[in-house]
Amino acid sequence: MCGAKGENGFTLVELVMVIILIGVLSALGVGLFANRSAFSPLLANQQLNSAALLARQAAMAGNENDTVTISDGGGSFTFSVGSIGSWSIPKEGTELTVSGGLPLAVKFNKDGSPVSGNNLELSFVGDSRYDICVSSLGAVYSGGCQP
């Protein structure tokens, strides 16, 4: 009674085609992600932005945890905010270049801007280059600093 009006379901050909399609998509997906390193410049930007935000908020509140420190821990970059805490992300063949080198300490004043009063450019360089700016106003954003 194959094909009768009251029957619902998929044919064997449809099921086989779906299985083949899932297999092809899985093979392509594995290929896309197999060569990715654990380091993500976007992750580094977000970590730096979070650390700077914590330090800025502490500075504006008159708290002593008003400095973010970026250091090279060998296999990882470490971001620290006073005694609040620190966290690390793996380097995976990426270097961080900044004038003056690492470790770098950025101290914020009561209005939330860096005490130095200058823009600070950082570049993560590896398979590609990713620039980050800590502006003289205290904002952290991707790309080079604007004059």
9-63 residue pLDDT tens:
888 888 888 888 887 777 777 665 555 554 567 777 788 888 888 898 889 888 8
pLDDT tens string 105-136: 999 999 989 999 999 999 888 777 888 898 99
Band (pLDDT 50/70/90 cuts) for residue 5 is low
Helix spans in the chain (H): 12-33, 41-60
Pick the more confident residue, 92 or 86.
86
CA 22 from chain centre, in angstroms, equals 31
Question: Nearest 5°: phi and psi at 144?
Answer: -75, 160
105 belongs to a structural domain? yes
Q: Evaluate whether residue 80 is within a structural domain.
A: yes
For residue 75, being part of any structural domain is answered with: yes
Amino acid at 72: D
CATH label of the domain that carries residue 84: 3.55.40.10
pTM for the predicted model, two decimal places: 0.69
Domain count, the chain: 1
Q: Which of 96, 97, 77 is nearest to 87 (CA)?
A: 77
Residue 83 structural domain: 43-142
Angle at Cα 91 formed by Cα 87 and Cα 92, nearest 5°? 140
Report whether 60 contacts 110 (CB < 8 A): yes
Q: Is 21 helix (H, G, I), strand (E, B) or coil?
A: helix
Look at residue 110 in the predicted model and tell me its pLDDT.
Answer: 92
Residue 11 within a domain: no
Q: Please give the backbone phi and psi of residue 14, each rounded to the nearest 5 degrees, phi first.
A: -65, -45
What pLDDT, on a 0 to 100 scale, did the predictor assign at position 100? 87
Average pLDDT over residues 58-87: 89
Residue 9 within any structural domain of the chain = no
Can you tell me which residue has the tokens 């860096």?
114
pLDDT of residue 95: 83
CA distances from 122 to 12, 99, 140 (A): 58, 8, 10
Residue 31 lies in a domain: no
Give a yes or no: residue 108 inside a domain: yes
Q: Rounded to whole angstroms, how far apart are CA atoms 51 and 44? A: 10
User: Pick from 123, 142, 145, 128: which is nearest to 45 by CA?
Assistant: 142
Asked whether residue 26 is domain-assigned, the answer is no
